[in-house]
C-alpha cells in the first residue's frame, strides 16, 4: 500500500474514532445523572375479576396503573396508588433512559475496538 494512501486511511479512521468518542461521551451523560430510577415499566392494566355479576363480565374491565419488572426470572407486578403514579412514571422513564444509554455504550465500544484494530493493522510493520 502506498504511503499516501495509508496516511489517508489512518486519517479517516482517526476521524471515525473522534466521532465515536464524542458519541460515547454524549451517551455516558445519563450515567452522571442524579435522578433516582426504579427498575420496571409503568402501564395501565385492564382485567376481569371473574365475578359473574360484575360489570367486567359484560366487557367493562377494571383498570389500574401498575409497575412491572423482572426479578430472578419472574415478572413482578405492583399496583400503583394514584398519589405515587407520576413519581413512579418519572423514575421508570429514567431507568429506561439509563438502559438505552447503557446499550448504546456497548455498541459504541464494539465500534471503537473495530476502528482501533484497523488502525493497528495499518500502523503495524514487520520486524
Q: Read off the pLDDT of residues 62-118 as tens digits, 9 standing for 90 and up.
A: 889 999 999 999 999 999 999 999 999 999 999 999 999 999 999 999 999 999 999
| 26-32 long-range contacts, CB within 8 A, separation 24+ | 27/101, 27/104, 27/105, 27/108, 28/101, 28/105, 29/101, 30/97, 30/98, 30/101, 31/98, 31/101, 31/102
- Give residue-wise pLDDT tens across range 34-54: 999 999 999 999 988 878 888
pTM of this structure: 0.78
What's 72's DSSP letter? Answer: T
Domain boundaries, the chain: 3-123
Amino acid at each position: 500500500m502506498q504511503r499516501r494512501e495509508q496516511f489517508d486511511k489512518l486519517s479517516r479512521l482517526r476521524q471515525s474514532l473522534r466521532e465515536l468518542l464524542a458519541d460515547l461521551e454524549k451517551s455516558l451523560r445519563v450515567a452522571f445523572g442524579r435522578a433516582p430510577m426504579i427498575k420496571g415499566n409503568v402501564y395501565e392494566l385492564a382485567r376481569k375479576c371473574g365475578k359473574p355479576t360484575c360489570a367486567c363480565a359484560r366487557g367493562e374491565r377494571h383498570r389500574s396503573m401498575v409497575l412491572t419488572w423482572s426479578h430472578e426470572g419472574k415478572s413482578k407486578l405492583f399496583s400503583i396508588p394514584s398519589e405515587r403514579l407520576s413519581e413512579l412514571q418519572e423514575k421508570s422513564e429514567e431507568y429506561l433512559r439509563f438502559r438505552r444509554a447503557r446499550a448504546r455504550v456497548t455498541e459504541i465500544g464494539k465500534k471503537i475496538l473495530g476502528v482501533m484494530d484497523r488502525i493497528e493493522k495499518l500502523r503495524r510493520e514487520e520486524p
